Amino acid sequence: MAPHFHDALETRDPAEREQALLQALAGQIAHAQAHAPAFAELLAGVEPAKVNSRAALARLPVTRKPELLARQQAQRGSGGDPFGGHATVGWAGLVYRRGARKVFQSPGPIYEPEGEATDYWRLARALFAAGFRAGDLAHNSFSYHLTPAGSMMESAAAALGCAVFPGGVGNTELQLQAIADLRPQAYVGTPSFLKILLEKAEEQGRSVRSITKALVSGEAFPVALRDWLAARGVSAYQCYATADLGLIAYETSAREGLVLDEGVLVEIVRPGTGDPVPDGEVGEVVVSTLNPDYPLIRFATGDLSAVLPGACPSGRTNTRIRGWLGRADQSAKVRGMFVHAGQVAEVVRRFPEIGRARLVVEGELANDRMCLRVELTDAPPEGLAERIAAALREVTKLRGEVELLEAGSLPNDGRVIEDRRAI
């Protein structure tokens, strides 16, 4: 494989990739049903061999982080499985007695396993695209405490043959001293902390010019900051990864969106549902991972993104997404009751005439007003607005107005609930 690519998977024919992913997915579903009790329950009655298309995948249930947390909490303190039946690995004393190398705690708290596979989180692909190569020293300023970010990046760098300085978070002065002494070629961490390090170095007259490349994540990475870093000699790229799923997508030299990782199947769905949206429309990122140790099937990230058309100019042939565009887990409290994106989706589901929809909340305290603005695919039948309003009241237990719009009237930003009230 040419040095430009991490491996041959990145340049596969898209049809070949799709076939391979769907075949692997069928095996993953069978594995999860047999070894992960949560998925044995969630996917009961599903025949793995019949999940052989995107349409079949879309019929499977979506798992969201609150549900994963609830399953974990239900088994805590009772000698149960701290992973809530979602993992297939563990240690002595659990139902599963093999395979967990590390355990992490993310906010919730939610526990995630790290298995024994090399580059378990698959971040080496993103590091390679950012220019990291064997023999580099990578200064890793992601946290090594409780959460997995530091370990995710370190194991990936080791898989590439890089040495790692485990800087962790904070201790700016000590980290600057280490950079000056060790002269690392690369940085891994949040973009904001890299900016802090470079600013401090400039103030103090310290040399950090050895760092010429970076992989950043965990925060938004605006173009203005990318250019600021480039002006100081650092070529920085971003990736999209989570503690549950590992790498989802990564930036390439083309700087046009993020290319999907080769070890996941990604869908973009309408927020609050599991229904895929057309390519280009903003929706929630739902991921099925092929990791056998933590076989999350249709796991909703809560993040918004959209598919970009066409192939990546870098030569990688996998699908691209626009990157992080906000959060999908939208809600608003109206007249003392919470309204969620899933409730809006339930109303929309009852009317095939509706395309996009957005619930707009306006007014002042104790005088909230709801208006469901809906795009129609055709001319509205008589009484449609009244029937939608009745459904809105039935689902949310709140009265609201309905505004009928032509297709294309609402912004393509994934927002389902818009709260216009003054804070």
No. of helices (H) and no. of strands (E), the chain: 11, 21
Question: What span, in angstroms and rounded, lies between the C-alpha atoms of 126 and 251?
Answer: 7
Q: What is the pLDDT of residues 195-206, one digit of tens each?
A: 999 999 999 988
The pTM is what?
Answer: 0.87
**What is the chain's mean pLDDT, rounded?**
92
Question: What span, in angstroms and rounded, lies between the C-alpha atoms of 19 and 23?
Answer: 6
DSSP 8-state symbol, 139:
E
What is the DSSP track for 227-288? HHHHTTT-EEEEEEEETTTEEEEEE-TT-SSEEEPTTEEEEEE-TTS-PBPPTTS-EEEEEE
Q: Where is mean pLDDT largest: 87-96, 164-173, 338-347?
A: 164-173
The candidate with the shortest Cα–Cα distance to 110, out of 84, 135, 89, is 84
**pLDDT at residue 76 in the model:** 85
**Whether residue 375 has pLDDT greater than 80:** yes
Q: Where are the alpha helices (DSSP H) in 205-338?
A: 223-230
The CA angle 142-145-147, to the nearest 5 degrees, is 75
